[in-house]
Chain A
Amino acid sequence: MADRRAEKVFWKPTADVGGNPVVSLLPDQWHHSPMRRFFLIFLGIQILLFAVELLEPIQQHFILPWTALLARVCALLVTLFDSHAASVGKVLWNPATGFGVSIEPGCNGVEACIILLAAIIAFPASWRHRAWGLALGFVAVQGLNVVRVISLFYLGQWNETAFRVAHEYLWQGLIMIDVLVVWLVWVRTNPESWVGRPAPGDQSASA
């Protein structure tokens, strides 16, 4: 029952289950379908950034250098405990066996960062809190992505089927769960949370 009441308060702040008026906990402008507003802004920013990411100049000057840097960082970390690793461009490879993994679009964490960025910007918060969320989120997503690349590097040398399953299915979902949880943590720590705000014109609720 409690969650149903919470849902009603946050997303349909009109009346409780007994038909009594509910004291709104949302800013006034969010009464007009906040979910719809969030989703529209989220999708708009995402499509825009995704299209920008695909532009040739952006690919040449940002995405490919970033991907090459990611490969170098992975090679650097791997060589701490395994000397059989090197990076050439966006490829992390083992010169001894000849096996290598090429970090392609979708594997460099850029798309996950775009999703996180769009979700953070679409949600009501101060720009300072957004900047904090973006910085922390970027580290969290790219950190896990480094783990993904290194794990795939070793899985590929061990078993082709395991590599395929991890690459095509498991890591895609795990990265997105990471993005989701980072965003939820950020939302929960938002100092400008709507909760506890008085309803417009309701002085009694401003304790």
Chain B
Amino acid sequence: MRTNRFSSLWTFFLAAIAWFLVATLGWMQVSEWTSYPSAAIAHILLGNGAKDWVRTIHKTPGQLQVETRVEVPVPENAQGQGKADLVVEVDPAHYAYGLPLFLALLLASRSRNFIRRALAGYFILLIPQTFSLVFDVLKQILVAAGHPESLGIASWQMEAIALGYQFGSLLLPTLAPIALWFWLDRAFFAAVIVEGWLRRTEAK
């Protein structure tokens, strides 16, 4: 029975796509709330780790707003050209789309203990989501400030923030759910290899 379930990777491929579309549509209805914990963790991290830059943080479902101490020039107005404190906004759900991908892979591989693994995945995926969120805020501050000297950091720290942002926005949101699924559902991977070996043996 089990072999039949893994008889074709194409079945898995198509099921993963179908479940991903369904899960994404469902997730979009609740993403503001499911990504709220990552905003809360980012709040704690930014509030404690970037005290010199961050004045206050407001979070609502769907938005993390950071009021900073970083001054940026504002366009000329009636009072002439001046400066204002930078306010950075980011949508926590923007980096949380790995959750429906993770759920789709669990469903497509017919993973055992689905509920338990789904819950574990949700909580574990909050970590990379928070990473992406924090580095997005830091990147926005960096870009607005213009030079690392104005923020009191060295150029290597600026490069580290840029690298962290790129990693957190381009790779982590999709890589983390797949790596996590691969780790939690190792039996599926084992079955894939066994099936390939059986097919080659039969062919001989």
Contact = CB atoms under 8 A, between A and B. Distances in A.
Interface of A: 2-4, 6-7, 9-11, 35, 39, 46-47, 50-51, 54, 105-106, 111, 114-115, 165, 168-170, 172-177, 179-181, 184-185, 187-191, 193-196
B187 A7 contact: yes
Contact of A50 (B94, B100, B167, B187): B167
Given A170-B21, A177-B16, A184 B190 contact: no
A35 B193 CA distance: 15
30 contacts: A3-B2, A3-B188, A3-B190, A6-B187, A6-B190, A6-B191, A7-B187, A10-B186, A11-B186, A50-B166, A51-B163, A54-B163, A105-B166, A111-B171, A169-B100, A170-B20, A170-B24, A172-B97, A173-B97, A174-B17, A176-B174, A177-B13, A177-B16, A177-B17, A177-B101, A184-B189, A187-B193, A188-B196, A193-B196, A196-B201
Which of under 10, 10 to 19, 20 to 34, or 35 or more describes the interface residues of B? 35 or more
Interface stretch (B121-129, B132-140, B148-156, B175-183): B175-183
A174 B163 contact: no
A32 to B, nearest CB: 16
Interface of B: 1-3, 9, 12-13, 16-17, 20-21, 24, 28, 94, 97-98, 100-101, 104-105, 112, 162-163, 166-167, 169-171, 173-175, 178-179, 183, 186-197, 200-201
Contact of A184 (B9, B167, B187, B201): B9
Given A3-B2, A54-B163, A181-B9, A172 B193 contact: no
Nearest to B94: A168
A125 to B, nearest CB: 12
A56 to B, nearest CB: 12
A11 B186 CA distance: 8
Contacts of B3: 2
Given A2-B3, A184-B9, A187-B192, 16 more contacts: A2-B1, A3-B191, A47-B167, A168-B97, A173-B97, A173-B100, A173-B174, A177-B17, A180-B105, A181-B13, A185-B9, A187-B196, A188-B193, A193-B193, A193-B196, A196-B201
